[in-house]
């Protein structure tokens, strides 16, 4: 069974830096989010080889897991949210990789609001936490993609992601085009956005 230990001060400092740096984390800064950070370590054999995964999500290895802390635990002094990090991975990761992973986990944390956009608070006057889902979540089998080709959801979804958001996930690989209007340029656009913009311009030109 994995073991746990509190993350050191440098990880908390990095989290504070990331929250202060990026605008989408500003609501967390405004409510003075209380964040618990913990490292998880895999069990090892006598030769130091891992026997299991330090963290898992839905049965799969994960480098970070974020959750909202229940009200009872908050009342006992816990934070508003908890981020667990793979401590074995963290020790070998570069500073940029550590920052990217922690920023990813922080991006899961958002605040519940009412219909007017006001932050909702619990009985302890702490903000209600809601977890933001990933922009892209997939469940693929390579065997199905291989057997059924483009009839498979695996290949269809992969193409859709590549065409619409590929420049973010595969820069230098995903194809982009630039649309120019007079002396103005859109900059690189993903293929599906370029096609829609070009079609709109064509319709306006024909009108």
> Where in the chain does DSSP place strands (E)?
3-6, 35-41, 56-57, 60-61, 64-68, 81-86, 109-111, 129-131, 176-181, 184-190
Residues 127 and 83 in one domain: yes
> Quick one: 95 and 167 in the same domain?
no
**Each residue of 152-189: pLDDT tens digit?**
888 898 888 888 887 777 676 655 555 555 566 666 65
Q: How many residues does the chain have?
A: 207
Residue 41 structural domain: 3-131
Residue 119 DSSP one-character state? B
Give how many domains the chain has, as a whole number: 2
pLDDT value of residue 122: 94
**Residue 20, in any domain of the structure:** yes
The candidate with the shortest Cα–Cα distance to 27, out of 114, 136, 118, is 118
Out of 69, 100, 131, pick the residue that ends a domain.
Answer: 131
The pLDDT assigned to 181 comes to 56
Instruction: pLDDT tens for the chain, 207 residues: list them.
Output: 889 999 999 999 999 999 999 999 999 999 999 999 999 999 999 988 989 999 999 888 999 999 999 999 999 999 999 999 999 999 999 999 999 999 999 999 999 999 999 999 999 999 999 999 998 888 888 898 999 999 988 889 888 888 888 777 767 665 555 555 556 666 665 555 655 655 665 565 555
- Give the pLDDT confidence score for residue 90 in this predicted structure: 97
Domain co-membership, 28 together with 110? yes
Residue 82's DSSP bridge partners are: 36, 67
* Boundary residue ending a domain (131, 164, 197): 131
In whole angstroms, give the CA distance from residue 186 to residue 11: 38
Indicate if 33 and 61 belong to the same structural domain: yes
98, 131, 164 — which closes off a domain?
A: 131
> Are residues 112 and 184 both part of a single domain?
no
| Residues 121 and 177 both lie in one domain | no
Residues 160 and 124 in one domain: no
Task: Report how far apart, in Å, the C-alpha atoms of 184 and of each of 11, 117, 206 are.
Answer: 43, 36, 21
Looking at the fold, whether 15 and 105 belong to one and the same domain comes out as: yes
The pLDDT of residue 184 is 61
Q: Is residue 136 part of a domain?
A: no
Same domain, 96 and 196: no
Same domain as 195, residue 161? yes
pTM assigned to the model: 0.78
């Amino acid at each position: 069974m994995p073991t746990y230990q509190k993350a050191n001060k440098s990880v908390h400092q990095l989290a504070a830096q990331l929250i202060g740096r990026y605008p989408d984390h500003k609501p967390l800064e405004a409510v003075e989010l209380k964040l618990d950070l913990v490292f998880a370590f895999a069990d090892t054999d006598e030769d130091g080889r891992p026997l299991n995964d330090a963290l898992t999500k839905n049965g799969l290895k994960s480098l970070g897991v974020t959750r909202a802390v229940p009200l009872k635990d908050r009342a006992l002094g816990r934070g508003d949210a908890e981020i667990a990090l793979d401590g074995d991975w963290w020790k070998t990761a570069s500073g940029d990789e550590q920052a990217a992973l922690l920023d990813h986990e922080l991006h899961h944390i958002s605040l519940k609001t009412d219909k007017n956009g006001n932050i909702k608070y619990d009985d302890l006057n702490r903000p209600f936490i809601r977890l933001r889902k990933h922009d892209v979540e997939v469940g693929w089998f390579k065997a199905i993609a291989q057997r059924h080709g483009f009839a498979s959801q695996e290949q269809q979804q992969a193409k859709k992601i590549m065409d619409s958001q590929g420049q973010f996930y595969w820069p230098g690989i995903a194809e982009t085009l630039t649309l120019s209007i007079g002396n103005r340029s859109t900059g690189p656009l993903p293929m599906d956005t370029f096609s829609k913009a070009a079609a709109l311009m064509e319709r306006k030109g024909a009108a």
